[in-house]
Amino acid sequence: MEVINTSGRRKTSVARIYMTPGQGIITINGKDIKTYFPSEVLQTIVNQPFQTLESIGKYDVKANIKGGGVSGQAEALRLAISKALVVENAETKSVLRKEGFITRDPRMVERKKFGKRKARRSFQFSKR
């Protein structure tokens, strides 16, 4: 039984996973996927790589996720799972790349600048 170890990132979230052949049990930070991501949409995001390759229920995933919000964490986990599937079988890379699951989303929050209220938003202008 081979354990595949990969990581995925999105915004400020980092997901580290350990994937083994199994019954399709996904455990995140010691909790089941249904309790960690109660939203159906986020569960779908996590399962997308498996759905694309029609391999739902073939692998067990144990994940440690840190940082960010729920959608960032779900997408980080999706990237990690996609990477693990490519390590397991290199021929799946082109299929997953076409769906956009291999690419790390580079968009990050822009930093706040001094003299501004946010990154680009100015303070309210007062004529008098």
Tens digit of pLDDT at every position of the chain (128 positions): 789 999 999 999 999 999 999 998 999 999 999 999 999 999 999 999 989 988 888 899 999 999 999 999 999 999 999 999 999 888 989 999 998 999 999 999 999 999 999 999 999 999 98
- What is the CA angle 26-108-13, rounded to 5? 25
Could you identify the residue written with the tokens 């081979």? 2
Of residues 14, 70, 9, the one with CA closest to residue 39: 70
